[in-house]
Structure formats: C-alpha cells, structure tokens
C-alpha cells in the first residue's frame, strides 16, 4: 500500500512540474497574476477593491491619458507600481511593474534573475523583443526586461 501511495505522489509531483511550464491555468485559460501579501491582482480587474486592500501608497501620480478616457493613475508601493486606466467611470488595473528584488512573481522570479531562470519557470513559449521576453496569456502580457543578462524589470500589462 505504501509503495502505491509513494508512486502516486511521485506521479502527481511530476505532472505538476509539467503544468508549471505552461503557466498558471484559471478556468482552463492561461492567466497571470501578481500577489502581494494576501492580495491577488489580475491585470484588467477593477481597481477599487484591490487598491483598498493594499492601503495607502508610498506615492501617487496622475496625468491625462493619451490612450484611455480620464486619467492614468500610478500608485507606488514598496517594490511595485500599479497603473490604472478609466473606462465607463471605473478604474481598472492596466499595468503592474515590479521595481526591486524584494518582490517576486508567484512563480518565484524577481529582479536580478537570469534569462535561463525565467525560461525554466515560464517555458519557451515566449516572444523575444530585443533582449526582453514576453509571455502572452488570456488577460495580459508578462514582460521580463533584461539589462546585462539579468531581469531589471517585470511588467504585467492588461489586454484592453
């Protein structure tokens, strides 16, 4: 009985490794999100509840939007920024930018990671834009920007 249980556990762990290379699946679709504490943020989601959960930002800036109605708003927190856009009178998460190595993607990648570490975690289904890697999901584009062979910035951008 123990041998069967061990075999089943090893098989399950092996399958989870293969699934991780395909990215996170939500409702059967590839979607990326960012976690900070207990708050999960999906690009494209309504911003009000998320911003309330995050509390007071370290900095806030706004400017007239060139691409959307109303204002582009940037909320700066420790290790990341959130940019929102307005549509239909509501603000939505447009971009999440990781700005230092104290925060990580849910898959464990942070500023300073190597390109091979990114590919190991996210797989080889990326688009190369110069030295940068872009991964496409249902809800956003996840971009890893490299400088001197290391991740210098990570951006989640909503598909709008």
Domain-by-domain residue ranges, the chain? 2-158
- Binned average pLDDT, 10 residues per bin, the chain of 160 residues: 38 35 66 94 96 97 89 96 94 96 96 97 94 95 96 96
Name 99's Cβ contacts closer than 8 Å, sequence gap at least 6.
79, 80, 81, 111, 153
Query: Quick one: pLDDT at residue 18?
Result: 34
pLDDT value of residue 23 = 57
Beta carbons of 120 and 113 less than 8 angstroms apart: no
**What is the structure's pLDDT at 129?**
87
What is the C-alpha to C-alpha distance for residues 62 and 39, in angstroms, rounded to an integer?
23
Per-residue confidence (pLDDT) for residue 121, from 0 to 100:
96
* Fold annotation for 2-158: protein yfey like fold (2.60.460)
Nearest-angstrom CA–CA distance, 46 and 49: 7
- Helix, strand or coil, per DSSP, at residue 130: coil
């Amino acid at each position: 009985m123990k041998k069967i249980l061990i075999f089943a556990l090893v098989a399950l762990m092996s399958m989870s490794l293969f699934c991780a290379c395909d990215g996170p699946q939500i409702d059967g679709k590839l979607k990326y999100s960012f976690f900070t504490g207990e708050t999960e943020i999906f690009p494209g989601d309504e911003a009000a509840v998320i911003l309330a959960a995050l509390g007071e930002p370290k900095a806030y800036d706004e400017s007239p939007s060139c691409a959307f109605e109303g204002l582009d708003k940037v909320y700066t927190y420790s290790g990341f920024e959130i940019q929102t856009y307005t549509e239909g009178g509501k603000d939505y998460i447009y971009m999440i930018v990781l700005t230092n190595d104290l925060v990580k993607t849910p898959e464990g990648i942070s500023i300073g990671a190597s390109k091979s570490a990114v590919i190991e975690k996210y797989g080889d289904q990326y688009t190369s834009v110069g030295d940068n890697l872009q991964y496409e999901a249902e809800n956003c584009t996840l971009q890893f920007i490299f400088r001197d062979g290391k991740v210098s910035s990570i951006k989640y951008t909503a598909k709008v």
